[in-house]
Structure 1
Amino acid sequence: MVISEKVKKQIVQSDYISRDLSWINFNYRVLDQAKNNDKSIIERLKFLAITASNLDEFFTIRVGSLYNYLDYHKQRIDYSGLRELPFRKVLLAKSKEFAEQQQQLYLNELLPKFEEQGFSIVMYKHLSHDEKERVVKYFESTIYPMLTPMVYDSYHTFPILGALRFVLGVVTKSAEDGVDNKKLSFIQVPYNLPRFYEIEKDDKIYFVPIEDIIRNHADYLFRNVKIQSINLFRITRNGDFTLEESDDIEANFLEELKQKLKTRRTGRVVRLEVFGRPDTWMLKVLKERWDIDDDNIFRIKKKGLIDFTGLWQIVGHSHFKDKHSEMPPMVPPVSYPEIKEENIFEILKDRDILLHHPYNSMEPVLDLLEQAAEDPGVLAIKITIYRLAKDSRVTAALLKAAENGKHISVLFEVKARFDEENNLREAQKLQKAGCFVIYGFSSYKTHTKLLLIVRKEGEKVTRYAHLSSGNYNESTSKLYTDLGLLTTNDVFTHDVSEFFNVITGHSMPEKYKNLITAPREMKPQLLRMIRAEAENAKKGLPSGIVIKINSLQDNDAIDELYLASQAGVPIKLIVRGMCCLRPGRAGLSENIQVISIVGHYLEHSRIYYFHNGGESKLYVGSADMMVRSFERRLESLFEITDSLLKRQVINILQYNLKDNVNSYLMKEDGSYVRKASGDDPEFNIHKEFYHVHKENLQDLDLTFDKEITVEEGELFEDVVIEEDLAKEE
């Protein structure tokens, strides 16, 4: 797949990086973790599986979104300046390069190490006679009864094949009236069975792919028919949709959501992954049926593996639990060293608590909720929910609170991507228990994370608030880095109360004292603070901006950062994922540096720091600098004002800028290179944050004079994809 020089030049000349191409670069950084020889083979397989899951979502949503424009003949101009058709070619070509990198890593570096680590992925034909007998029994008793062959011919319509499921396309011939008729049938591999059948033998574990077991026993399903070929493939469908909410929430909106979820299963095909050398006639049928071409077809070599997400079965196997990285035990929050020793309500009346997950446990938040559910003085609990853990303690606490007669208000975001069904089920459970449940707010997705508890204490009422960058999910709080503030400060609790009145009622406050909220005021206020730094720089005053976010895509924000850079403001951006800003371009962004941190934990917190003439402004919250965050979501940022907690957050930014183990520096062309440690000792934030105490936080200030150095050379080189699979033989 060749990209023209003209298209390449246009991409390079643009002042913005393509959102989708930047995302592919992000997934390369995750893949780089799987290349790390210092990690165990199980850890490396974990990161390879993560890249595969990421790529599945990318095709389902981002490539799916592109096809919404292509299929309905609507104009779309990418940040790179390309129209939808040429951009499609670039995007699919770059995606194929990445998929080729995955396969090369698996075949050349990971697969050869399996045996020495006590396991292997074994095809059916390589099993011993006794092992084959075990597999046959499993097939006959468990797999075979679940299989349903679906023929496609003049008498049978083309079946609806599931997205991201293995399918065997079986080409058969049968003699009828003396004429050979070629037919195509499909066998969907059951998704509710393990990917691999496991055989333990001599302290080794053999993982036999279920699709290979079915392929070797396809004759059970095609009696007295000549099988010409059996072809393994997997399709990805467009899962991007936009909900148009109606006023009749209970009847229409929830029903529409259910219908939209069904379309995700039947959306247009955007990717076809095929294993080995598939039947050319079958490919022709599939291409015509799904209106795809060779650009959409991803070919996996015979010794490769289709769908690396199946590796989670190996990664999570109890046999390999000692192969995972051991992290230190969680530590008490800096402002709450006596955790568990006193009543959380009494502690919060004495001070604010800043939680830095996963180094600090989520227990104080869960304790607060669970105590509130039982406390006779608690009158009401209000909370926004975006994603929940399975068997959620949050849901259990809310149900208990409702049972105890407390007023419970829950804004449940049932449109949280890929969690819609679970959220809908949990929301209805709460509603049946008597909770006041709001299914979203107007046309906006609720992404803010807020909790308010109202408690009667003698003759007065005290409000307790939790404001966070992370979800109320006790599982992901052990894997994602997030910040949460527990407080009884009247300024915070008043703002949170006002915000809940907006989303549950018909209130519209003129101004919050502490919160900055989207979609109303967040973007204008952030842009004003960027401009203020630019004005200070023009006057020769000290200035500086440090922003830590997941994604940077809003072009108005990018333009303001460009102008601030040109005014002389030193800007450091810590952007984990996609970044559409182009740093270090002469005359445009020379004073902007962008780093990305990818490592053991997923960096999820959002922090905004502005020098502000020495009276620094510091905000934490749920929002990235994206169009969807500013314009299509309910988001909130809250200002950190307590001096100790402020030093704690500044220290977090300092550590992020100091890290030389997990950090990558973005180059002007949009590629990334590892950050060089030089003569400095190794500094890994995913370990260092376990050792932060009050005494570490004295006289902190962010400095902007030290440049980040990088190793020479490209981290990720272009891969030439060989379209002619005959050469693999």
Structure 2
Amino acid sequence: MDNMTPAPDLNSPDLYLNRELSLLEFNWRVLQQALDPDVPLLERLNYLCISSTNLDEFFEVRVAGLIQQIEIGDPYLEADQITAQEALKLISQRAHELVEEQYSVLNEQLLPALAAESIEVLPRANWTDDQANWLRNYFQEEVLPILSPIGLDSAHPFPRLLNKSLNFIVSLVGKDAFGRDRGYAILQAPRALPRVIALPEELAPAGAYNFVFLSSVIHAFAEDLFFGMKVKGCYQFRVTRNSDLAIDTEETSDLLATIADELTHRNYGDEVRLEIAHNCPEEMVEFLRNQCGMDSSNVYQVNGPVNLSRLQTLHSLVERQDLKFKPFTQGRPGNLSNGSEIDLFNVLRKQDVLLHHPFESFTPVIDLIRQAASDATVLAVKQTLYRTGAMSPIVDALVAAAHAGKEVTVVVELRARFDEEANVALASRLQQAGAHVVYGIVGYKTHAKMLLILRRENNKLRRYVHLGTGNYHRSTSRIYTDYGLMTSDKQMGEDVNNLFIQLTSLGKIPKMHKLLHAPFTLHEGLLERIQRETSHAESGKPARIIAKVNALVEPEMIQALYRASMAGVQVDLIVRGICSLKPGVPGISDNIRVRSIIGRFLEHTRVFYFANSGEEEVWAGSADLMKRNLLRRVETCFPIESKRLRQRIIDDLETYLADNTQAWILSADGRYQRVARNEGDEPVAAQTLLLEKMAKTYTS
């Protein structure tokens, strides 16, 4: 840059994309998978359902948070300097577009395609007489007895509706049993009722699958609930509520009991969205909007079920493997190919082991804890748990270790959003088994993924460690991409041991040998390495950064990457979801490319590559590049020191950068374009290639 040219203001809001709108764009990319003819049909339906579930959480957490910011007078200014009020307006516009596209995909693409495969969700108008008779009987025996319609009057006010529950507003004509004219009634469908009903085989054409929505059944037979009155109209609706738990961690003396109590109130938070059937009359829409205290911008009228995610059940109900992803068998590194029979401690004394899930099995991690539980020379097991499930094999192994007399210490993060109930249950189970259970640091979520096993060997203690980018959850390890490193490195073991001591004692810890950790050294450590690449570029040395994360929001990190680009560093960012950095801004981010991979598996790895003038470094960790991860959580980031394993990750990153099938490229305007293959180019799908590669034994 010319010395006479003033340095650009990297704090300028024009250099940042809004994080909420970026998250909506991620959800749009998920929805595009439902339109991809190369994706099996039932999986396309799943992507539609996932986009619906994601949007639910977006309103429950992000929109709810913005509304709260306005209520308390907080301006909510991110780096883009958009106020909460402005953000809500932009969100409403984009979310309405997204919802309209969701229902267009359902009605115009997926339902016709499913019908062509003899899989139908039948509207009332298409029921045969036999089907209608069967459904009336089903309604009378299975549905009507547990429904409780509420006729609205001064003694029966508008009810407090459960978050995301299926409800109906019913317009009535005639007098009730007490001679009074009736107007509206509210009917809430209990959650115990299935939302999709499979018709018996004998009521469907041969080889066909016929289903009916519960909402259609209630619509058809609603008059049976209001004897002597006429149902003029019956329309489904759903209310989404603020679902963030309001917990003052500084004031509570028992976090476990407080969270357990707060969970009972989650379903009744403030209203943030109202979804109503598209054919509901305007006066009834206004009635519901006023009763819910909703602004019209958060009212969504939809042409179809008010909860698209209920369609996800078709994936398990329809036995058509030809319409689903092909099953796969997870691989194992060659040195672990003998499965549970192998002595993992012996392997780790000789070399580090890197696992790449879901392409490689998560089972060796479970086996490591199981072997520790049954090994007489193991003295202690320590682990962090963020999301794992109360009845997981990981918890089973920890319980077994405690029963075997090992010192078992588990740091359970009770505040993992939407997993609080499961974490309360697993914490109680571990305590009953005799494990020491702590809940992390007040004010700082423990998001680090660490396992430490202390074993006495030759009269000395040896530490075995597992560090990961993802949760200790067997089920998600088959659908999330993550790295896990198993090692017996002495200094790495000391670092992890010191972190556990800090989490339990709350004292200061010595300087780390190898790990970076939040909220202390991770933010600074990554910034230093970005600056080092910048200095190399300024000195005329080759410089490159590759980062693969789920989110990039933190302003200092973005500014450091801008400065690196301005110095000539080639920066490739693989960001699954939120990205506030603007690539391709002349003079600032010309050398930065941002791509997102959306495929069969949820990209979840957090990996950082620095060329370092030929002394390449690769780091993996639990943190995304967000303020909360870098400054308000307990996180770890660990170096991959084995040259062989480091090269494996570099090769993986290059595979993702070569993807021309499932990759999307971010433009400076915040929108994404799917990568277009040139004529004659071989298709490259990173996840498919890794699955083919890792499903075979990966030899060392």
Paired residues of 1:594 and 1:665 also in contact (CA < 8 A): yes
Match of 2:285 in 1: 283
Match of 1:147 in 2: 147
Paired residues of 1:171 and 1:183 also in contact (CA < 8 A): yes
Matched, 1:234 2:238: yes
Q: TM-score, normalised by structure 2?
A: 0.93
Q: Distance in 1 between matches of 2:194 and 2:320?
A: 17
How far 1:175 moved relative to its partner?
4.3
What is the one-letter code of the residue matched to 1:154? S
Q: Larger deviation: 331-340 or 676-685?
A: 331-340
Assess, with a 3 A threshold, how the Cα gap between structure 1 residues 348 and 481 changes in structure 2: closer, same or farther.
same
Q: Distance in 1 between matches of 2:292 and 2:695?
A: 61
Match of 1:719 in 2: none
Assess, with a 3 A threshold, how the Cα gap between structure 1 residues 159 and 695 changes in structure 2: closer, same or farther.
closer
SS at match of 2:31: helix
Q: Larger deviation: 409-418 or 71-80?
A: 71-80
Paired residues of 2:565 and 2:592 also in contact (CA < 8 A): yes
Match of 2:348 in 1: 348
Q: Identity of aligned pairs, percent?
A: 34
Q: Deviations over 1:128-177 (max 9, x none)?
A: 22212221222122111211112332222331101111101112244489
SS at match of 1:120: strand
Assess, with a 3 A threshold, how the Cα gap between structure 1 residues 675 and 68 changes in structure 2: closer, same or farther.
same
Q: Deviations over 1:639-658 (max 9, x none)?
A: 11111111111111111111
Equivalent pairs, count = 683
Structure 2 counterparts to residues 300-319 of structure 1, below 5 A: 300-301=302-303, 304-319=304-319
Matched, 1:68 2:72: no
- Which of 207, 213, 221 does residue 209 from structure 1 map onto? 213
Q: Larger deviation: 315-324 or 686-695?
A: 686-695
Paired residues of 1:335 and 1:352 also in contact (CA < 8 A): no
- Which of 252, 259, 264 does residue 262 from structure 1 map onto? 264
Match of 1:683 in 2: 684
Assess, with a 3 A threshold, how the Cα gap between structure 1 residues 681 and 177 changes in structure 2: closer, same or farther.
closer
Paired residues of 1:618 and 1:639 also in contact (CA < 8 A): yes
SS at match of 1:229: strand
Q: Deviations over 1:528-567 (max 9, x none)?
A: 1111111121121221111000000111111111111111
Q: Distance in 2 between matches of 1:307 and 1:324?
A: 22
Q: Distance in 2 between matches of 1:66 and 1:334?
A: 50
Q: Distance in 1 between matches of 2:394 and 2:13?
A: 49
Q: Distance in 2 between matches of 1:238 and 1:694?
A: 42
Q: Distance in 2 between matches of 1:528 and 1:78?
A: 24
How far 1:289 moved relative to its partner?
2.4
Q: Distance in 1 between matches of 2:362 and 2:298?
A: 43
Assess, with a 3 A threshold, how the Cα gap between structure 1 residues 438 and 178 changes in structure 2: closer, same or farther.
closer
Paired residues of 2:148 and 2:188 also in contact (CA < 8 A): yes
What is the one-letter code of the residue matched to 1:290? C
How far 1:305 moved relative to its partner?
3.4
Assess, with a 3 A threshold, how the Cα gap between structure 1 residues 211 and 249 changes in structure 2: closer, same or farther.
same
Structure 2 counterparts to residues 422-461 of structure 1, below 5 A: 422-461=422-461
Q: Distance in 2 between matches of 1:102 and 1:690?
A: 30
SS at match of 1:331: coil
Match of 1:581 in 2: 581
Match of 2:628 in 1: 628
Match of 1:31 in 2: 31
SS at match of 2:100: helix
Q: Distance in 1 between matches of 2:177 and 2:544?
A: 83
Q: Deviations over 1:279-311 (max 9, x none)?
A: 33332222222221221111112xx33321011
Match of 2:597 in 1: 597
Q: Distance in 1 between matches of 2:306 and 2:293?
A: 22
Q: Distance in 2 between matches of 1:516 and 1:211?
A: 52
How far 1:457 moved relative to its partner?
2.7
Q: Distance in 1 between matches of 2:35 and 2:442?
A: 45
Paired residues of 2:334 and 2:697 also in contact (CA < 8 A): no
Structure 2 counterparts to residues 233-632 of structure 1, below 5 A: 233-246=237-250, 249-250=253-254, 253-301=255-303, 304-333=304-333, 336-337=336-337, 339-340=339-340, 342-389=342-389, 391-632=391-632
Q: Distance in 1 between matches of 2:433 and 2:337?
A: 37
How far 1:684 moved relative to its partner?
1.4
SS at match of 1:455: strand
Match of 1:725 in 2: none
Paired residues of 2:392 and 2:474 also in contact (CA < 8 A): yes
Structure 2 counterparts to residues 24-63 of structure 1, below 5 A: 24-63=24-63
What is the one-letter code of the residue matched to 1:611? A
Assess, with a 3 A threshold, how the Cα gap between structure 1 residues 300 and 376 changes in structure 2: closer, same or farther.
same
SS at match of 2:183: strand
Assess, with a 3 A threshold, how the Cα gap between structure 1 residues 19 and 286 changes in structure 2: closer, same or farther.
same
What is the one-letter code of the residue matched to 1:636? T
Assess, with a 3 A threshold, how the Cα gap between structure 1 residues 591 and 136 changes in structure 2: closer, same or farther.
same
SS at match of 2:170: strand
Match of 1:713 in 2: none
Paired residues of 1:389 and 1:474 also in contact (CA < 8 A): no
Q: Deviations over 1:195-248 (max 9, x none)?
A: 111112221111100011112222222122333321110111112345321475
Assess, with a 3 A threshold, how the Cα gap between structure 1 residues 50 and 592 changes in structure 2: closer, same or farther.
same
Q: Distance in 2 between matches of 1:534 and 1:35?
A: 41
Q: Distance in 2 between matches of 1:473 and 1:615?
A: 34
SS at match of 2:513: coil
Match of 1:714 in 2: none
How far 1:479 moved relative to its partner?
0.7
Q: Distance in 1 between matches of 2:27 and 2:46?
A: 14
How far 1:394 moved relative to its partner?
0.7
Assess, with a 3 A threshold, how the Cα gap between structure 1 residues 577 and 489 changes in structure 2: closer, same or farther.
same
Paired residues of 1:354 and 1:483 also in contact (CA < 8 A): yes
Paired residues of 1:237 and 1:270 also in contact (CA < 8 A): yes
Q: Larger deviation: 356-365 or 85-94?
A: 85-94
